[in-house]
Structure 1
Amino acid sequence: MKDVRRGMDTVYDKRREMLPMPDKPTLMDFFKLRFYPARHVMQSATHALKTGQPERTVLACLLHDVVLNLGRPDHGWWGAQLLAPYVEERISWGIRYHQALRFYPDDEVGYEYPESYNRIFGKDYVPDAYIKEAHDFARNHKWYMEARLITVNDMYAFNPDVKETLEPFIDIIGRHFKQPKEGLGFDNSPSAHMWRSLIFPDRLL
């Protein structure tokens, strides 16, 4: 949209129909009514599942970019904040730092700098200092691979012709996502306001 900045995303696109959410929405409700079609994250999680990654990595891949429905800048940090109350710490940690790691190759795990970034950012692009600092911190952290595996599985998850479903992930979500009985957005968690922003994107205040 010409009148919306590039960093704003899908829930603020008035061309997209927003159906009402249930009174006590679950993560599955958000996938069906706010995150759809969610091809990219489902492809990423499917690749992680097929290559035998731990369930926490599969869930991290499934959730790592859902916050893009709110906005794009610093989506790793925003995504970690959105999800931290509901997943184990290693999952939200990996989501936070995958953003920075995407800009830095790792030959040991077969991760290359995305060619698409040359088109998006330019061949001479240098990440901001805080991105480099986040990469260096994560690279030396005991949970480095939690974030790196998200980027590795991300590489294979940009095929618009592949149709995935949530079916293979329902049990994984049930085992590893702490669904609040009040519903996401209404449980007074530190990120409840973010879920409400997804529920009510047309509210003025």
Structure 2
Amino acid sequence: MRVAQADPEPGRQPVSRDNETGRGRMEIDRRAFIASLGGTAAVAAMDSEAKADALEHYMEEQLNDQVAQQGGQPEKFPTVAEIEAQIETRNVRRGAGSLFASGRGNVKKLQPMPKNATLLDFFKLRFDPANHVLQSATRAMKTGMSEEIILACLCHDVVLNLIKPDHGWWGAQLFEPYVPEKTTFAIRYHQTLRFYPDPEAGYEYPDQYYRIFGTDYTPPPHIEATYKMLKNHKWYMEPRLVTVNDLYAFDPNAKVSIDPFMDIVGRHFKQPKEGLGMDNSPSAHMWRTIANPDSPL
């Protein structure tokens, strides 16, 4: 296999290929090939052998597609039932790439969300068991925190069902249209303050982070810059109190429920009458994604 030197079209290269029927010629869209590998940065990190293997694999896929089309055999499209039957054969949900992978076997089929879905519906059908955030909110309630902080503790990590990196910012975006400003602030910045001890507030750096990030871990620049901003902010204690209640909310034997928090949710969560995901808010698309994680597009 060799890549020809001529480039008859921008971004497209002809590739010579020997096969059983003689010498054939396949047009390779260079831009599409590079994009399939994750972009130019990903290609630059590959050694020559890996690039050759990737090109071979790409050509085989293209060849199979062309042969199927030329053979006159129409593609067999699956039915809705057939697609649904495949859900429990995968460990990754179709709509979320590797972020919705199951750590224990295949993913499970989810119950459909009801019409006009509420926050409680999401807790029951998408965030369940939500033990950690329920423990966090329970501790915040028992220690006399404000209702804005209790609500922040209840909601601060549920976005991990959608995405994990920068979950403080993602979580704040998810809830911002519906909760008090201080609650949003606490959710957004608890992620930053987790990395910085505050003995006076009762927060020590968790041993768990040494296991997860390494003993010599240094937070990235945007986290360090955010921490400097927070130290002088009038609402510093809002996200700090979330970290305090977060730290002690990992008891596997704790029995918790969302029921004690429903009055607080009723007072401070602006439930849209159309249902979460159907109200055209800035984060409605995020709620729809959580509601329908098996959607391919």
Where do residues 18-29 of structure 1 align in structure 2 (5 Å cutoff)? 18-29=110-121
Q: CA deviation at 1:23?
A: 1.2
Q: Does 1:74 align with 2:139?
A: no
Where do residues 1-205 of structure 1 align in structure 2 (5 Å cutoff)? 8-9=99-100, 14-205=106-297
Task: Check 1:60–1:10 CA distance in 2 against 1; reply closer, same or farther (3 A cut).
Answer: farther
Task: Check 1:99–1:31 CA distance in 2 against 1; reply closer, same or farther (3 A cut).
Answer: same
Q: CA deviation at 1:15?
A: 1.7
Report the identity percentage: 60
Task: Check 1:193–1:24 CA distance in 2 against 1; reply closer, same or farther (3 A cut).
Answer: same
- Aligned partner of 1:167: which letter? D
Q: Give TM-score scaled by structure 2 length.
A: 0.66
Question: Any unmatched runs of 5+ in structure 2?
Answer: 1-89
After superposition, the C-alpha distances for 1:26-57 in whole angstroms (9 at most, x for unaligned) are 00000000000000000000000000111111
Question: Any unmatched runs of 5+ in structure 1?
Answer: none
C-alpha contact 2:179 2:270 (8 A) present in aligned 1 = yes
Task: Name the residue aligned to 2:48.
Answer: none
C-alpha contact 1:66 1:79 (8 A) present in aligned 2 = yes
Q: CA deviation at 1:204?
A: 1.2
Q: CA deviation at 1:17?
A: 3.2
Choose 1 or 2 for highest CA Rg. Answer: 2
Q: CA deviation at 1:114?
A: 0.6
SS at match of 1:8: helix
Q: Cα RMSD over matched residues? A: 2.1
Answer 1 or 2: higher relative contact order, Cα 8 Å, separation at least 6. 1
Q: CA deviation at 1:107?
A: 1.6
Q: Distance in 1 between matches of 2:91 and 2:222?
A: 30
Q: Give TM-score scaled by structure 1 length.
A: 0.94
